[in-house]
């Protein structure tokens, strides 16, 4: 039975996480289903950033590296993110961009895989990097770059073909498996534990991109035995535009794997200014240059909004609500927008779905997204034909889901989206 708007309003009144929305500034009249691209602004961010700019930079100046704790900000925020992804304190740092961090961990994993395979006299055999054809492009570009540089092979498969590629004799040439945990375009989520176990059984290492997972779905890096991970600060962590990213290495690898971005902030004693590089102990060696403090401070505000859910059940409770929201959206689209040529791209099975719902349409996907944006329902378009809607359970409610589908229905029913002004593509939506 399809829920009514009144049913959804009742769900909002009973939502134990509803109070978390007050942590954010949400523009009036906006239904923001794009938190998987750029999370909304935490209400604490303007004052915190102003403090960093006016007090810490403006008044403290260079002294703030110590006095305001800038020196340890990458680790401090890293420790907070660690709590959201099943990592221990000291295992994860904030640094650079997701792309740059991918370069570090893919390099480290390749280095490790080769060292191990040469130790067992299988040297040249382990040269394949396996990934998914529909992985986020930057993940593929960075892997491609490293494969090209080191004489390896990047092999792109459909997600469902990966287990067979790792099994038995076929898996013996695989150096590493690198995947985005939740696919950016479909919202499909991989089974991190199962794939990691399959990769390990094949003698390969795993690198996970948590861009669409951190703050959106429970992740247990240590529990699954993953080898390396990176993730994004500006999506479900609400860290602000281009917020720095994070990087994690399993404690068993962190000191043995070499990564090439050997910058001074990752040195064991950066202020000794010695000409030889000695990596810092632990994950700090994955830092490279001086971090962008303003952006890092905003990221901390964002991460704090997710940690605020801890007394209410944390990531498990957020996941419960996220699934309810995405399930509701998919159901309402199927019932209320039937006959308009929309296909559900995201999995209906909860265990396979992240915190987004994607729809495909043979034509008009871009224009429909634009028409929705004009009506205050912000999702995004992903080429070639996908309408993408992200549901951040911290600030999205059930009645908003209902209203978003209602607007979608109106845009489709009236043919509104066929208007010329919605056809012109901009670079980003």
Q: What amino acid positions are annotated as catalytic residues?
A: 136, 209, 234-235, 388
Q: Tell me which residues in 122-151 interact with a second copy (CB under 8 A).
A: 133, 135-138, 140-142, 144-146, 149
Provide, rounded to whole angstroms, the least separation between the CB of residue 335 and a second copy.
28
69 contributes a contact to a second copy by CB under 8 A? no
280 contributes a contact to a second copy by CB under 8 A? no
Report strand pairing: 245-249 vs 92-95: antiparallel
64 contributes a contact to a second copy by CB under 8 A? yes
Provide, rounded to whole angstroms, the least separation between the CB of residue 336 and a second copy.
25
- For CA atoms 157, 162, 168, 173, give the dihedral sign: positive
Q: Is 357 exposed, middle or buried (0-12, 13-18, 19+ CB in 10 A)?
A: buried
String marking each residue 244-273 x if it binds a second copy according to CB under 8 A: xx--------------xxxxxx-x--xxxx
Closer residue to a second copy in complex, CB, 219/232: 232
Q: Tell me which residues in 97-116 interact with a second copy (CB under 8 A).
A: 97-100, 103
- Count the helix, strand and coil residues of the chain and give each as a percent rounded to the nearest 5: 50, 15, 35
The HSE-up count of residue 308 (CA atoms within 13 Å, CB side) is 22
Q: Tell me which residues in 363-402 interact with a second copy (CB under 8 A).
A: 373, 378, 380, 382-383
The residue within the footprint of a second copy, chosen from 34, 79, 91, 304 (CB under 8 A), is 34
Q: What are the backbone angles phi and psi of residue 130, rounded to the nearest 5°?
A: -95, 135
Q: Which stretch binds a second copy (CB under 8 A): 11-19, 53-61, 163-171, 311-319?
A: 53-61
58 contributes a contact to a second copy by CB under 8 A? yes
* HEC letters along 225-268: CCCEEEECCCCCCCCCCCCCEEEEECHHHHCCCCCCCCCHHHEC
- For CA atoms 170, 172, 173, 175, give the dihedral sign: positive
The HSE-up count of residue 229 (CA atoms within 13 Å, CB side) is 32
Q: Tell me which residues in 179-238 interact with a second copy (CB under 8 A).
A: 185, 234
Provide, rounded to whole angstroms, the least separation between the CB of residue 49 and a second copy.
5
359 contributes a contact to a second copy by CB under 8 A? no
């Amino acid at each position: 039975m399809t829920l009514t708007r009144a049913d959804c309003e009742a769900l909002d009144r009973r939502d134990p996480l509803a109070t978390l929305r007050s942590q954010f500034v949400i523009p009036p009249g906006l239904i923001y289903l794009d938190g998987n691209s750029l999370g909304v602004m935490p209400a604490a961010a303007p004052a915190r950033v102003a403090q960093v700019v006016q007090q810490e930079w403006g008044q403290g100046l260079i002294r703030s590296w110590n006095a305001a704790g800038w020196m340890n900000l990458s680790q401090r925020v890293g420790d907070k993110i660690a709590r959201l992804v099943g990592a221990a304190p000291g295992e994860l740092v904030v640094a650079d961009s997701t792309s740059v961090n991918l370069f570090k961990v893919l390099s480290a994993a390749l280095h490790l895989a080769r060292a191990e395979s040469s130790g067992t006299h299988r040297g040249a055999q382990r040269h394949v990097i396996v990934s998914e054809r529909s992985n986020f492009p930057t993940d593929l570009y960075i892997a491609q770059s490293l494969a090209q540089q080191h004489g390896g092979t990047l092999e792109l498969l459909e997600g469902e073909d990966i287990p067979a590629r790792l099994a038995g004799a076929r898996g013996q040439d695989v150096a590493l498996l690198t995947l985005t945990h939740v696919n950016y375009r479909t919202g499909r989520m991989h089974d991190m534990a199962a794939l990691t176990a399959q990769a390990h059984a094949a003698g390969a290492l795993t690198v996970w991109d948590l861009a669409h997972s951190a703050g959106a779905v429970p992740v247990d890096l240590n529990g699954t035995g993953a080898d390396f991970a990176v993730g994004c600060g500006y999506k479900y962590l609400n860290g602000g535009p281009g917020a720095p990213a994070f990087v994690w290495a399993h404690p068993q690898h962190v000191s043995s794997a070499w990564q090439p971005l050997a910058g001074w902030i990752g040195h064991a004693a950066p202020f000794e200014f010695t000409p030889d590089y000695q990596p810092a102990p632990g994950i700090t060696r994955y830092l490279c240059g001086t971090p962008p403090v303003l952006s890092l401070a905003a990221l901390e505000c964002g991460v704090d909004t997710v940690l605020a859910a801890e007394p209410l059940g944390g990531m498990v409770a957020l996941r419960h609500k996220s699934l309810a929201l995405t399930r509701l959206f998919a159901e309402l689209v199927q019932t209320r927008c039937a006959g308009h040529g929309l296909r559900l791209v995201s999995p209906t099975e909860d265990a396979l779905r992240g915190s987004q719902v994607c729809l495909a349409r043979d034509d008009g996907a871009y224009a429909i997204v634009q028409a929705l944006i004009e009506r205050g329902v912000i999702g995004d378009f992903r080429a070639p034909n996908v309408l993408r809607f992200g549901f951040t359970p911290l600030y999205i409610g059930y009645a908003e889901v209902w209203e978003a589908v209602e607007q979608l229905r109106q845009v489709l029913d009236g043919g509104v989206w066929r208007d010329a002004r919605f056809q012109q593509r901009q670079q980003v939506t």
